[in-house]
Amino acid sequence: MRHIRSAAPCLAAVLSLAAAAVHADVVTGTVSPAGARVVIVDSKGAEVASLPAGPYQLQLPVGKFKARCVEPKPKEQEFLSLSGPVTVNIACE
């Protein structure tokens, strides 16, 4: 019986990691053109990332987000982060 009690924390940690994987995943893509700058905001308008031009990779929770182009001109693009990998290319032209 003692062996089962000592395994419980390990099992809880594994289940916790599995649950986290279901509620967040990787978002990849490219920000263009050269010199562009983007701010990623969540559904409440809170900034969660700032991206320069070029390729990027983020880990975001499942939900709705907006990519707000700051440079070279203001523009918004909505996207979803799902429970699997997502590609979002952001063109600030």
Query: Would residue 30 count as lying in a domain?
Result: yes
pLDDT of res. 24: 73
pLDDT score, position 15: 39
Q: Do the domain assignments include residue 2?
A: no
pLDDT of residue 25: 86
- Per the domain annotation, does 6 fall within a domain? no
In a domain, residue 4? The reply is no
Q: Which of 31, 43, 17 is nearest to 71 (CA)?
A: 31
What CATH number does residue 75 fall under?
2.60.40.10
Please tell me the predicted confidence (pLDDT) of residue 14: 38
Give a yes or no: residue 42 inside a domain. yes
Q: What pLDDT was estimated at residue 23?
A: 62
pLDDT of 34: 96
Global pTM?
0.73
d(CA 49, CA 42): 9
Residue 77 structure tokens: 């693009």
- Residue 35 structural domain: 24-91
Number of domains in the chain: 1
Tell whether 67 is covered by a domain. Answer: yes
**Is 72 a member of any domain?**
yes
Backbone angles phi, psi at 63, to 5 degrees: 160, -175
Q: List the chain pLDDT tens, one digit each, 93 residues.
A: 444 444 444 434 433 444 444 467 899 999 999 999 999 999 999 999 999 999 999 999 999 999 999 999 999 999 999 889 999 999 999
Residue 10 lies in a domain: no
